[in-house]
Structures are given as structure tokens and as C-alpha cells.
Amino acid sequence: MSSTNSLNNPLMGLAELASLLKARHVIFSSNEGFTSIAIDSRKVNPGTLFFALDGTTCDGHSFVSSAFKAGAVAAVVDSSKIESFNLENLAKEMGKDLITVDNTMKALQDSAKFYLNKFPRLRKIGITGSSGKTTTKEITAAIIEIEKNVIKNEGNLNSETGLPLSVFNVRAEHEVGVFELGMNRPDEISEITDALKPNIALITNIGSAHIEYFGSKEKIVNEKKCIYKFLNNDDIALVPENDEFAKELADGVNGKIKYYSANNFKEFGGARSLGIEGTEILWNGEKINFALPGKHNLDDAMAAIAIAKEIPVSDKAIKLGLESVKPLFGRLEILKGRVTVIRDCYNANPESTAKSIEFCDSIEWPGRKIYVIADMLELGVMSDSEHKKIGFLLSVSAAKKIFLFGEKIEKAARNLRDNDKPYFYTNDINELSAALDSFIKQGDLVLLKGSRGCALERLTDMLIAREVNSAL
């Protein structure tokens, strides 16, 4: 997974890691160290240390042999599985090492922690929140890398496994590490924060994303604020000033608490929406052309600036960094063809869906606005009521017609019916595509918003690449 080092220049010694993990080191190879790590045997290179994790769909211990064949020098395995998977014989036959532990997931996270200890001068930034983690991380990195050597997690590799895998990409030349931390289960933020030990920690906002697993927003607050848990007194906790839970987030936090928001920066002179072309930000008297549209992307930019100022960087870096940011896949991406598509379907939760609708309503557009809205997943018992609320927003929105897609979003239909808002509902992507195909015409603006599982980007080619029926 991580980029490879030369075999003569290992990331860490095998014996060194085994000792730090207080693990048993079974030696059958002459290899002293490893040059990358992997949890997926298909991503193993010569020199890799393979971590066998017990996943929900399969057990990584069945892939130790494939990992060894692909060049792994050693595997970190669960000591209770050595016999059942015949691992000691396998390692002996293939001339590989085993590091045996009680819990391979914990070992992966601890290994990341021990690895990071080798870089005491690296400034480590941790970003979490319900929405905007990846966007804020990308903007932060774009600004700081104007003046410093930056490492960041690729894409959204921000989970219990993604964060440790990303950490192993840190090298001696890096000055600042920008990492996003996500959560799909209780304690995940705490565990990966323990591995990262950020010096600067920021929360973007608190919403209802993944509430299915947590039960309430208060529990989400307590989970998210674990990103501040390991701060020392000189470290910085950046708290979103305008979040409804700002006070709770800051309560009992070690480190210097700083509330951030646009209005808290003396350099911020206002922002002007350029519609789908982005936002013009006035910073210290200079105009900055920021290509990401919408108020929430401006919030993410302010979060990124709050972090960058702690490094610190110059105003010039803030300008150049913000101007270099390009839209990310599925986050208010603008695709221009015969119709203009606002592709915001990387993911969806109640807050981000409301923000998308708000943004599309707010922009001036000469043609028709059409909103394609799919399910918001993982909302648990709040699912029906949150989809109904979206139904209300849509019923008073600027859309000419709404297309609803999925099982859960059907709950939004009633509001549309009651308010005589034209809509089409289906749970079949082909039916959705055909209905849209026959409705759209040149000059329309089409919003695509829905959870990852709904993959609304499947409509892009039909909307953009093909000639549309302009006679309608």
C-alpha cells in the first residue's frame, strides 16, 4: 500500500517492530527490515510487511501465503490462528518471518504510532468532522505545500486501516503531515488519533453522518472530540465557532483551544459567490479565485486557513494554495456539456444534502434546474424523518422537477405530492436514466446528490456525453 523504499533502506527493522509491539518474532528469513506495509495481498511488493486482518467478509490469514508469494518478507498474524492456518510451517517453507500478536488491527495502529515516532520534527495535523474532511484536508495541503514539504492521506484513506497505511508514506523529507480521520464505529477516532498524535487537530462540523452506529448527535460529539484527546498543552485544538456543539467540543480539551470561522480572521474581507464558477474571497485586501463553489466549501477553506496559520504560512501561500485547488470527484463538481451537471454524489447526509439544495437554489441560472436526489444511507432510526425533511426542502426548492432514486428517499415523495411539486420516483437506475434522458434539454442544470451506495455518477455519461433531446 505505502510507497516502496529500497530493500537496503528499510522503513523499520522486523526485530525492532516486534520488540516495540511486545510480540513474538518467529525468524525463518534473512531479512532484517520491511520497506512497505499492506493489508491486501494484491498490494504486496517485494519487501512488504503483510498485516493479516480479520475482516467482515474474509480473514486475511488465508492470504498470508499469497502475500509471501508476492514478496512479503514477513506477516503480522494473530497468535491464536497460527495453528489453524498452519502459518509457522508456511513461513518456514517459504523462508519468511512471522510477528505474532493478540490483535492484528491494534498491531497495525501501534506500528503506525511507532513508525511516526521516528519523525519527531514532523508537524502532524488531524482533521475530522461529519462533512468536509477530505475537502478540508485537500485545501489545507494545497496551501501548506506552497511553502513546506507535505504528506497527506491519499483519497479518503482515513479509517482504522486507512490512517495507519497512510502514515507509512511519511518520509524524512516531509515537514508537515495532513491527515483526515474518519469513523464508522465507536472508538475508531480515539484509536487512530492515538496512532497519529496530532499537534494540530480540527473538527469541521457535527452532523448526523453515521448516526446509525452512534445513536445521537451528542454521542457523535463525544466520538469526534477524541481527536483532541492526546493533545499536549502546546498543541492546538481548532473548534468550529459556528457549530451548534462548539462549546461541548471545546469542553475539557487539553491544548490551546482556538475557535475558527471566517469572521474570526482579521484578514477576511468577505466572499462573493461566482455561482458554479466558485467563490471570490477577499483576503488581506487581495482577491482570491477559489474554484470550489458553495458556502460549505468556503467553510472548508476557512478551516484549512485556520490550520495553515498555525504552521504558519504566508498570505501569499494562502492565496496561491486556494487558487490551486481543483474540485474533487463528486464534491460539487461542475461538468459542462449540453446540460450542466453539478455532481455532488460522492456522499450524502442530511446536512450536506440540504447544503447542495441550498447552493443550487441560490445560484442564478437562465435554464431549468433539475434535482436528482438519492438515498442518504446509515441514518438508522432517523432515516424516515430526515428523508421527509429533505422532501420538504425539495418541495419549496427552485427545481423545475425532482427525480428521486432509491428505497429510503421515497419518504420525500409525499411532501412533493402534497405541494404539487413535479417529481418522478424510481428505485431502478435504468428507469431513472431513461426518465431523465427524455426530460432534459439543452441549458438545464442537473444536480446529482446521494450517498456513495447510490452511485449517481452512473448517470454522468448519459447527461454529458450523449446528445440530449433539445426539442423538448
Q: Which residues of this protein are in contact with ligand ADP, per CB under 6 A?
A: 131-135, 156, 204-205, 296, 299-300, 331-332, 344, 346-347, 351-352, 355-356
Residue of 86, 120, 295, 90 whose CA lies nearest to 199: 120
Q: Which cell numbers hold the place of 26?
A: 518467529
The smaller minimum CB distance to ligand ADP, of residues 123 and 355, is found at: 355
**What single DSSP character describes residue 229?**
T
In whole angstroms, give the CA distance from residue 259 to residue 238: 6
Place of cell 504510532: 113
Q: Which cell numbers hold the place of 7?
A: 530493500
Report the nearest approach of ligand ADP to the CB of residue 127 (Å): 9
Report the nearest approach of ligand ADP to the CB of residue 331 (Å): 4
Angle at 212 between CA 249 and CA 128, to 5 degrees: 35
Q: Which cell numbers hold the place of 160?
A: 482504522
In whole angstroms, give the CA distance from residue 318 to residue 322: 6
In whole angstroms, give the CA distance from residue 270 to residue 282: 5
In whole angstroms, give the CA distance from residue 259 to residue 461: 43
Report the nearest approach of ligand ADP to the CB of residue 183 (Å): 10
For the chain, give the number of residues: 472
Quickly count: other Cβ atoms within 10 Å of residue 41's Cβ: 21
Map residue 162 onto helix, strand or coil. Answer: helix
In whole angstroms, give the CA distance from residue 310 to residue 270: 21
The smaller minimum CB distance to ligand ADP, of residues 66 and 156, is found at: 156
The smaller minimum CB distance to ligand ADP, of residues 188 and 351, is found at: 351
Report the nearest approach of ligand ADP to the CB of residue 361 (Å): 14
The smaller minimum CB distance to ligand ADP, of residues 36 and 134, is found at: 134
Report the nearest approach of ligand ADP to the CB of residue 260 (Å): 12
The smaller minimum CB distance to ligand ADP, of residues 134 and 159, is found at: 134
The smaller minimum CB distance to ligand ADP, of residues 169 and 208, is found at: 208
Report the nearest approach of ligand ADP to the CB of residue 178 (Å): 13
Report the nearest approach of ligand ADP to the CB of residue 352 (Å): 4
**327 Cβ contact partners less than 8 Å away, ≥ 6 residues apart:** 291, 292, 333, 334
In whole angstroms, give the CA distance from residue 225 to residue 248: 9
Report the nearest approach of ligand ADP to the CB of residue 248 (Å): 18
Report the nearest approach of ligand ADP to the CB of residue 392 (Å): 18
CA atoms within 13 A on the CB side of 278: 15
Q: Which residue is nearest to ligand ADP (CB)?
A: 132
Map residue 159 onto helix, strand or coil. Answer: coil
The smaller minimum CB distance to ligand ADP, of residues 181 and 370, is found at: 181
The smaller minimum CB distance to ligand ADP, of residues 299 and 310, is found at: 299
The smaller minimum CB distance to ligand ADP, of residues 110 and 243, is found at: 243
Beta pairing, strands 369-374 & 74-78: unpaired
